[in-house]
Amino acid sequence: MILLKNPRTRRRRLGVAAAAAGLVAALFTAQPAIATPDPGDAPAAQKEVSEKTQAEVREAVADGEIPGQDEIVHSANIQHLTNIPKDLLPGTNSDLAFQGKYAYAGNYDGFRIFDISNPKAPKTVAQVLCPGSQNDISVSGNLLFLSTDSSRSDSSCNSTTQPATEKSSWEGMKVFDISDKTNPKYVAAVETACGSHTHTLVPERRNVYIYVSSYSPNATYPDCRPPHDGISVIKVPRSAPEKAAVVGFPVLFPGEGPDGGGNPGSPTNPGVSRTTGCHDITVLPSKDLAAGACMGDGILFSIADPEHPKVIDQVQDNVNFAFWHSATFNQKANKVVFTDELGGGGAATCNAEIGPNRGADGIYDIVGKGDSRKLVFRSYYKIPRHQAATENCVAHNGSIIPVKGKDLMVQAWYQGGVSVWDFTDSARPKEIAYFERGPLTTDAIRTGGSWSAYYYNGYIYSNDMAKGFDVLKINDRRTDPARWVRLSELNVQTQPDYFGWPSGR
């Protein structure tokens, strides 16, 4: 581990398809390395588009149908307070977590810690070089957790890439001590089957449980062979994080098929991902509930016993959902918003050709009680602005905005920007605010845009894959009550009970 320190609203009709002074190095290697694959959403290479498409994009910019290259546009009720460009970590920015006056920003090359006590002028506290996609990030107390979903030569932060077919390769979870925010210390690493694409915390007083989501096994990978029909559960003792270890692999999709009872995908269901694990899980500890976005399936399950989660309901959408990516509960826990990451995050899917129901959110009501609860589909939501054929755009990570009696959400859409929307009426969702930049390029698809957009203590924070860390403020009577809700810690995939704080076990 290397610590790097240094102090208009528009209607669209577009329808076309490191070295630095003062480096402090501290290298820790945990347990023996074991090979697992790198199936994840690796940053896509720049994709050229046809000359015809390039001309259409340039014409759309000239006509004002889409913003100009890198031009910032937003609704009247959103302010763009600041942008902090990437610095010593040049990789793709990924997820965010929050604690007190700090924001923690993942990056494929490591992570960055910001002091956000003044949201208009965040200050960098630390930058830690520790490559390993995606570096999905979360925090709890004095511990920080980082997912590694690329096959590495070992578990250290100075490892190199290595084929997943090599038995000596490693990927999984890394644990840091952040009691000193200016000098995080790498204290443990835990190898998990098929790595850790994302992870979710289920915190308790003495322990932190981690649900590790990973997928895409292969018979040629020594320690990630099919079936891979569940999740890894890690137990981390707070008083001795170096003893972190896998305590189970609960099967979520039991069945007779080669991958258990999950969605078989294509060719049975053309265009739908075969379920070989989960992409992301969101837990609501105050309700002992979890929702899993698992490639070809959405699931609802009980976490009353965190080491042995139990599936309550399983749903599929073989017409419009290609890849179940993430899940968000509303405050009352009677709805779940699932996202479909059509095209894997690297394609232009926010256009008339793809339409409003694909690459969108699916809103499900939770009906019934106890183990008889069911997920019932109500509607889709997708941003109402078409994007250029050179802009990767699809539903991605977001969080609820805590307003009693309302279901409001802020969400990232890659180069589609940030959308604030209302799903209080499950059947009639509507956008109430937005922020976005124009395309990174007009002659190719270059991956960029907001990876995560989350509401935390009165502000919206967005981690733009290419442009850096953005801070937004929404000024709207519908969201204003949320300003009075204050959290001491937020990992969005561990949803708090906003109006019964503190939540959890």
Residue 57 lies in a domain: yes
CATH value at residue 37: 2.130.10.10
Q: Are 136 and 123 in contact (CB under 8 A)?
A: no
3-class SS of residue 328: strand
Backbone angles phi, psi at 243, to 5 degrees: -95, 10
How many independent structural domains does the chain possess? 1
The residue range of the domain holding 429 is 2-7+18-490
Residue 495 lies in a domain: no
Residue 501 lies in a domain: no
Residue 504 lies in a domain: no
Residue 500 lies in a domain: no
DSSP per-residue codes, 63-123? TTSSPPTT-EEE-TTEEEEEEE---S--S-EEEEEEETTEEEEEETTEEEEEE-SSTTS-E
**Tens-digit pLDDT profile for the chain (505 aa)?**
777 754 333 334 333 332 222 222 222 222 222 222 333 344 556 788 888 888 999 999 998 899 999 999 999 999 999 999 999 999 999 999 999 999 999 999 999 999 999 999 999 999 999 999 999 999 999 999 999 999 999 999 999 999 999 999 999 999 999 999 999 999 999 999 999 999 999 999 999 999 999 999 999 999 899 999 999 999 999 999 999 999 999 999 999 878 889 999 999 999 999 999 999 999 999 999 999 999 999 999 999 999 999 999 999 999 999 999 999 999 999 999 999 999 999 999 999 999 999 999 999 999 999 999 999 999 999 999 999 999 999 999 999 999 999 999 999 999 999 999 999 999 999 999 999 999 999 999 999 999 999 999 999 999 999 999 999 999 999 999 999 999 999 999 999 999 874 443 3
Q: Taking the complete model, does pTM exceed 0.75, yes or no?
A: yes
Cβ count within 10 A of residue 7: 4
Q: Which residues pair with 143 in a beta bridge?
A: 140, 177
Q: State the Cα–Cα distance between residues 281 and 304, nearest whole angstrom.
A: 15
Q: Which residues in 86-108 are b (16+ Cβ under 10 Å) and which e? A: bbbbebbbbbbbbbeebbbbbbb
